[in-house]
């Protein structure tokens, strides 16, 4: 019985771990979240918007579906582009699905 009363007495005398430590930990997690998740994602979104606005007729592009083609027509009002896959085949896609603008002559080297 004395062992239990000693343990109970030791627990009562232990200092409480103040709320300040909790706020410091939450602040630290917020900083880590910002630098490791939010900031890189915002940078990628900004780069993709720049890429979409810089596309023009004649650029060779790669889509997220794996299609490689040359832009035949750009529609400014509804964010669609027409990509010519070869001389006879054209595909209409949203600008959002373009992942990269390729260097000129890439299609001929494939």
Domain boundaries, the chain: 55-109
Per-residue pLDDT, 3: 53
Q: Tell me what the mean pLDDT of segment 16-24 comes to.
A: 79
More confident residue, 110 or 23: 23
**Range from 6-10, 38-42, 106-110 that averages highest in pLDDT:** 38-42
For the stretch 64-72, contacts whose Cβ atoms lie closer than 8 Å and that sit 24 or more positions apart, written own/partner, are 64/97, 64/98, 64/99, 65/97, 67/91, 67/93, 68/102, 68/106, 68/107, 68/110, 69/107, 70/107
The mean of the pLDDT values for the chain is: 84
pTM of the model: 0.64
CA angle 71, 107, 74 (to 5 degrees): 5
Q: Tell me the two tokens of residue 46.
A: 């900004």
Query: CA 14 from chain center: how many Å?
Result: 46
For the 55-109 domain, the top CATH level (class) is mainly beta
């Amino acid at each position: 019985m004395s062992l239990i009363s000693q343990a109970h007495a030791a627990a009562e005398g232990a200092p409480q771990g103040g709320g300040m430590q909790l706020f410091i930990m939450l602040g630290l997690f917020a900083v880590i979240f910002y630098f490791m998740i939010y900031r890189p994602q915002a940078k990628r979104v900004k780069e993709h918007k720049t890429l979409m606005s810089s596309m023009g007729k004649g650029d060779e592009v790669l889509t997220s579906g794996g299609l490689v083609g040359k832009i035949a027509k750009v529609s400014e009002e509804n964010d669609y582009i027409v990509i010519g896959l070869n001389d006879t085949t054209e595909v209409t896609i949203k600008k959002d699905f373009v992942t990269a603008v390729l260097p000129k002559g890439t299609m001929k080297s494939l």
